[in-house]
C-alpha cells in the first residue's frame, strides 16, 4: 500500500521486562465489571438515548447483574444531569449497586458533578485528563509537569467537594490516552494522584488504565499493565481497572491478557458499542470465562431478550457473526460440521456426559437461551445428510436410515441450490413428504388382506389410473409377499429390500412410520416412506412409495 512511511509504532514499552503474565494459563475468576453503556456507549450513538430509554437500559443492566454502572457525564448536558437525579430521587439504585460518573479536571465541572450526586448511596467519581504525547503536544500544548498539575488539582478538588456533599464517594483516576503515554510518565502521574488521595483498605481508589486508542498488539498492553501494577504506590489499596477500545480489533485479547497481568476490573459495553470501533464487548468477555468453567457473575441466560433490548434502545444491530450473540454463530451449514454436531449431540445423550465437548460448539446454545433446531442446524446447498437428518429427527421424529439420509440430503441440496436460499425446517419436511411419503402415483395402494390359512399369501388391491385391480403374492413374510405381487403385476425387478420402522408422534397424532429401500438391477436405490396408524400398513405404503419412484 501507499503512504506506509506515514505510520510508526507510537506506543511505549515498559522500561523493564514485564512478562510474568505469560506464565499464567487462564483467568481463574471474574473481574469486577463496570458497564459504561450509558456514558461511553451512549455518547457514541447517532441519536443518544432519551431519559426514558436510559432508565429502561439501566434496569436491563441491573437484571444482567452489573454492580457498577457508569451513568453518564452529568455536567455535560441536562439529560445526563436529569437522568442521574432521577435515579437518586426515585430510589432506583439498589443498595448493592454503585453508580459511576465522569468528570474532567476542571472545578466548575467537578462542582456540577457533585451537585448531581447529592444523596447517592454510593458513587464512583471518575476523574480524567489526557496524558499522551500527541495530546500534550498537539491539543493542550503543555509540559509533563503542567499535565501532572491538572491531575493533582482535580484530585484535590474531588476531596474538597466530596467532603461538602451528602453521599458516599469513591475516587477513580484515568490517565486518558494511557496507551500513547510514556509508561514511566503514566506511573508518575498516577502515583502523584494516589499521593493526594492516600487510599486505605477501607477506602480504596481505582486507577483506570484505558486503551483509549488501541495502538499495539495485546501483549504490549499486558506488559504495560503489569509494569503499572508492580510499581503503583499503595498497590494493596488500589483497584487496577482497564478500559480497552477496539481500534485494532483486539479489545477482547487486550482485556484478557491485561487481566492476567494484574487487571482487576473492566469497563466495557454490551456487544462492544462505543466510539469508533467500540469499547470491549463485555458479553464476549463474560462468556469466554463461562466457556472455561469460570462463573462470570453476570447473567446472559437469555441472550435473545438482551439483544432485543439493546437494539431497541441503541437503534444499532448485533452483527450476525458477533461472538455468542450473533444469529449465525452457532449455525452450521457445512455438511461435515452438521454431521459432527449431530453425532456429538447423540454421543453426549447416550453417554449422559455432563461435560460439554460437542464439536464446533464452544458452549451449549441452550445455556444462553438459544435453540438447537433453529440456531444450530441450518440448511442450504452446502448442507449434508447429517444435519438434514438431525433436523428431521429433532423436529419431526423421523429417524431415517443412513442411506436414505444421504439420498434425501442430495434432494434438499438441489432444491436449495435451485432456489438460492436457506430452507426452513417446515420446507424441508414438506420436501420429504412430497418426495417420499405415501406416494400414490402411478400405482395407488388401496388395501391388502392376508389369507387366514396362510399368513404369507396376500391379496392386494391397487389402482392404476382409473383401473382398480387385485393382485396376489406369496413370500417368506407379509411384506415380502406384497413385494412379490407388485413385481409380478408391474413387471419390474428389484432386490436388497431395506426396511426400518418406528413409532412416530407429531403433535397430538400417534402414528407408525416405515422406510423401505429397494435396489433395481442397474444398482439404483429408491427410497419410500409410509406413515399410518397401523405399522403394517405404513410398511406397505413405504414399499409402494419406493416402487412409484421407479415407475415415474
pLDDT of residue 19: 93
Q: How far apart are CA 158 and CA 173, in angstroms?
A: 11
What does DSSP assign to residue 6? G
CA 539-544-548 angle, 5° bins: 150
Q: Residue 513: what pLDDT?
A: 94
Instruction: Spell out, as residue ranges, where the chain has pLDDT lower than 50.
Output: 508
**In whole angstroms, what is the distance from residue 505 CA to residue 54 CA?**
48
What CA–CA distance (Å, rounded) separates 305 from 177?
35
Omega into 368 within 30° of 0, i.e. cis? no
Sheet with 443-451: strands ordered across = 443-451, 454-464, 467-474
Closest CA to 212 of 233, 243, 237, 188: 243
Three cell numbers, residue 119? 444523596
Q: What angle do CA 100, 105, 109 make, to 5 degrees?
A: 70
Instruction: Name the phi and psi angles at 159, rounded to 5.
Output: -60, -45
CATH placement of domain 31-314: 3.20.20.70
Pairing of strands 205-211, 467-474: unpaired
Chain center to CA of 228: 33
- Provide the 3-class DSSP secondary structure of residue 512: strand
- Please indicate, yes or no, whether the overall pTM of this predicted structure exceeds 0.85: no
The CATH H-level (homologous superfamily) assignment of domain 443-551 is: Alpha-isopropylmalate synthase LeuA, regulatory domain (3.30.160.270)
Give the ranges where 457-534 is alpha helix by DSSP (H).
Answer: 478-490
The span from the CA of 384 to the CA of 517, in Å, is 20
* Of 288, 231, 205, nearest in space to 254 by CA: 288
Cell of 449: 388382506
Residue 428, pLDDT score? 87
Residue 535 CB neighbours (<10 A): 15
CB-based contact 188:198 (threshold 8 Å)? no
Q: Taking CA 492 as the corner, what is the angle to CA 500 and CA 490, rounded to the nearest 5 degrees?
A: 100
Q: Which pLDDT does position 452 carry in this prediction?
A: 57
Domain with CATH 3.30.160.270 in the chain: 443-551
Residue 483 and residue 497: Cα distance in Å, rounded? 9
Q: Residue 346 has what pLDDT?
A: 85
The residues of the chain that CATH labels 3.20.20.70 are: 31-314
Q: Which helix (H) or strand (E) holds 176?
A: strand 167-176
- Pairing status of strand 443-451 against strand 98-104: unpaired
Rounded CA separation 393/396 (Å): 6
Amino acid at each position: 500500500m501507499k503512504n506506509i512511511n506515514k505510520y510508526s509504532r507510537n506506543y511505549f514499552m515498559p522500561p523493564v521486562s514485564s512478562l510474568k503474565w505469560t506464565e499464567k494459563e487462564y483467568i481463574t475468576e471474574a473481574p469486577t465489571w463496570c458497564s459504561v453503556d450509558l456514558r461511553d456507549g451512549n455518547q457514541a450513538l447517532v441519536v443518544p438515548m432519551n431519559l426514558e430509554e436510559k432508565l429502561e437500559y439501566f434496569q436491563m443492566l441491573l437484571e444482567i447483574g452489573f454492580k457498577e454502572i457508569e451513568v453518564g457525564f452529568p455536567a455535560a448536558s441536562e439529560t445526563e444531569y436529569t437522568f442521574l437525579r432521577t435515579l437518586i430521587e426515585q430510589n432506583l439504585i439498589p443498595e448493592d449497586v454503585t453508580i459511576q460518573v465522569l468528570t474532567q479536571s476542571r472545578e466548575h465541572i467537578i462542582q456540577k458533578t457533585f451537585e448531581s450526586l447529592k444523596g447517592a448511596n454510593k458513587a464512583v467519581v471518575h476523574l480524567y485528563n489526557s496524558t499522551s504525547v500527541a495530546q500534550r503536544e498537539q491539543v493542550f500544548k503543555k509540559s509533563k509537569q503542567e499535565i501532572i498539575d491538572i491531575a493533582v488539582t482535580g484530585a484535590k478538588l474531588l476531596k474538597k467537594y466530596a467532603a461538602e456533599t451528602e453521599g458516599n464517594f469513591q475516587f477513580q483516576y484515568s490517565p486518558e490516552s494511557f496507551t500513547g503515554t510514556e509508561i514511566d510518565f503514566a506511573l508518575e502521574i498516577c502515583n502523584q494522584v494516589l499521593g493526594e488521595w492516600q487510599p486505605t483498605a477501607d477506602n480504596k481508589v481505582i486507577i483506570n488504565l484505558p486503551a483509549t486508542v488501541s495502538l499495539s498488539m495485546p501483549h504490549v498492553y499486558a506488559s504495560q499493565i503489569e509494569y503499572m501494577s508492580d510499581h503503583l504506590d499503595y498497590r494493596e489499596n488500589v483497584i487496577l481497572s482497564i478500559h480497552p477500545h477496539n481500534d485494532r480489533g483486539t479489545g477482547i485479547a487486550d482485556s484478557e491478557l491485561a487481566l492476567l497481568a494484574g487487571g482487576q476490573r473492566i469497563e466495557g459495553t454490551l456487544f462492544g458499542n462505543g466510539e469508533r470501533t467500540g469499547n470491549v464487548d463485555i458479553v464476549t468477555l463474560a462468556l469466554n470465562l463461562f466457556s472455561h468453567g469460570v462463573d462470570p457473575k453476570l447473567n446472559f441466560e437469555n441472550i435473545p431478550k438482551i439483544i432485543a433490548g439493546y437494539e431497541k434502545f441503541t437503534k444499532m444491530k448485533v452483527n450476525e457473526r458477533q461472538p455468542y450473540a450473533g444469529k449465525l454463530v452457532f449455525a452450521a451449514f457445512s455438511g461435515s460440521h452438521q454431521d459432527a454436531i449431530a453425532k456429538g449431540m447423540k454421543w453426549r445423550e447416550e453417554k449422559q456426559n455432563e461435560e460439554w465437548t460437542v464439536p464446533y460448539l464452544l458452549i451449549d446454545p441452550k445455556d444462553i437461551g438459544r435453540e438447537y433446531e433453529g440456531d444450530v442446524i441450518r440448511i442450504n446447498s452446502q448442507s449434508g445428510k447429517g444435519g438434514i437428518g438431525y433436523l428431521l429427527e429433532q423436529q419431526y421424529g423421523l429417524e431415517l436410515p443412513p442411506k436414505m439420509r444421504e439420498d434425501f440430503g442430495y434432494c434438499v441440496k438441489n432444491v436449495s441450490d435451485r432456489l438460492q436460499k436457506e430452507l426452513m425446517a417446515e420446507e424441508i419436511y414438506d420436501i420429504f413428504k412430497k418426495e417420499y411419503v405415501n406416494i400414490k402415483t402411478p400405482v395407488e395402494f388401496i388395501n391388502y388382506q392376508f389369507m387366514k390359512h396362510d399368513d404369507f399369501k396376500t391379496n392386494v388391491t391397487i389402482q392404476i389410473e382409473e383401473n382398480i385391480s387385485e393382485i396376489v403374492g406369496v413370500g417368506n413374510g407379509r411384506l415380502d409377499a406384497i413385494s412379490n405381487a407388485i413385481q409380478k403385476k408391474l413387471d419390474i425387478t428389484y432386490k436388497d429390500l431395506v426396511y426400518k420402522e418406528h413409532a412416530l408422534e407429531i403433535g397430538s397424532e400417534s402414528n407408525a412410520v416405515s422406510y423401505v429401500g429397494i435396489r433395481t438391477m442397474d444398482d439404483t436405490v429408491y427410497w419410500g416412506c409410509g406413515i399410518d396408524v397401523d405399522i403394517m400398513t405404513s410398511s406397505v405404503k413405504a414399499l409402494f412409495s419406493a416402487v412409484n419412484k421407479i415407475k415415474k
